[in-house]
Amino acid sequence: MRDTGPAPRRFAGSGQERREPSHPDVGDQPRGQLWLTLEWHCANARHSDTRVIPGFDTRRDLLPRELADGLHAGTEPHTASHSFAPGEMLDEVPPSGQLTIASELFNRAYIRGANVEPRIGRFYPRALLAGSPEITPGDLRPCRLIGSDGQSLHIDLDHPLARRELTVSARLVDPRAGDSPGPGEERDLARLACDNGPGMQARLHNRPTDFFRDDPFRRATTQADAAFYATPRFTGHVDRTASTQIRELYGRLLPAGGMLLDLMSSMQSHLPEGHAAKVTGLGMNREELDANPQLHQRLVHDLNGQPRLPFKDAHFDAAVCSLSVEYLVRPFEIFAEVARVLKPGAPFVVSFSDRWFPPKVIRAWEWAHPFERPGIVLEYFLRDKRFDRLHTFSLRGLPRPDDDKYAARRDASDPVFAVWGSRV
């Protein structure tokens, strides 16, 4: 069974009018690949969302002056950072603010094959509310359900980051001087960095988001996991660029040396070479585990059948779960077990993308927006209060390798998402 490849987008871009940030217009200006990173926080986690902008050209692309001035200072390393007050970088266009509609105007059959019930704290495409005169049928910007009295739904139409202070960093990679704009239309890059998801990871008023009703852990097949995974799949589940970014993230977050648990492991661990002194891989297929050169110990173990981990308390210095968390049907038990086998202060890093095996992905994951999925994993971390120093991470927009099998379908590399915390 092959994986799905890149998943379809369930929301469109912001559709908002472009602001007019100023930028220098004299002299040679740098061009290259621009990394824009949003850093923000909520009550229980810190967040970092990066959008990579290919073909950046200062004569064409628009940035707030606070960032543009730093990039055009004429000195290395072509970086800039600025903190924006809530709403300062995200001037909204109508309709915005809050809206109350009759419950029956919510289109529960909007997504084919799913009976979508409105749940507090969840995000939905505005088109689900198209029965309301304020909403047009083609408006796919996200809105959030913030309350319900049974007869009416209370909706927040503002951008998910509208009430957040944002620290925005810009870094120009491989800068090249140029005195003429590159091809293409002007782009409002600050808004592009905020587009289609950042902000959805956070809870509403620090209350658990209602992800876990409507049979959330149902899967498309009842076939036993042991039978499904009996045949090895010697293939990567993200492209090489995404795998490299996961490896670099692990290198920054995981302690060097020590004992590391690679949960739901297979033929790749995405770990920096030689980073851990000993890596224990726990997975579903012996042949895949045997093909992984980074593992020192290999255990075949079905976590969905037996969440109890076969290790003593406080045994590991770190743990990772790469590209597999979407298959867990008993995640709260398993995260509690990971906490049990980690030493105090040890990190647990969960990484994922937007590809999966359709028969085995849980329903809650499949129908969530990509930026709600870090929120799902945050709920796994938060349930038993065994982890703190929680973070989420996203990286989008790097180019896909030309020889990748999905290169004809999508130019960009597979997005990388991660959530991590430390054992209390």
Does the pTM surpass 0.85? The reply is: yes
Q: Mean pLDDT in the chain?
A: 88
Q: Which residue has the higher pLDDT, 125 or 2?
A: 125
Indicate the class that CATH gives domain 225-423: alpha beta
Compute the average pLDDT of residues 385-412.
94
pLDDT tens-digit readout, 201-237 = 999 999 999 999 989 999 998 899 999 999 998 888 8
Beta strands in 157-296, from DSSP E residues, in sequence order: 166-178, 259-265, 278-283
Retrieve residue 367's tokens: 């129908």
Q: Where are the domains of the chain?
A: 29-89+163-194, 98-156, 225-423
Contact 302, 225 (CB under 8 A): yes
Compute the average pLDDT of residues 97-123.
87
Q: 29-89+163-194 adopts what CATH topology?
A: Chitinase A; domain 3 (3.10.50)
On the question of pLDDT at 14 being above 70, the answer is no
CA 80 – CA 89 distance, rounded (Å): 16
Strand partners, 412: 399
Q: Which residue has the higher pLDDT, 174 or 349?
A: 349
pLDDT reported for residue 96: 79
Share of the chain above pLDDT 90, in %: 66
pLDDT reported for residue 183: 56
CA 310 – CA 308 distance, rounded (Å): 6
CA 255 – CA 278 distance, rounded (Å): 12
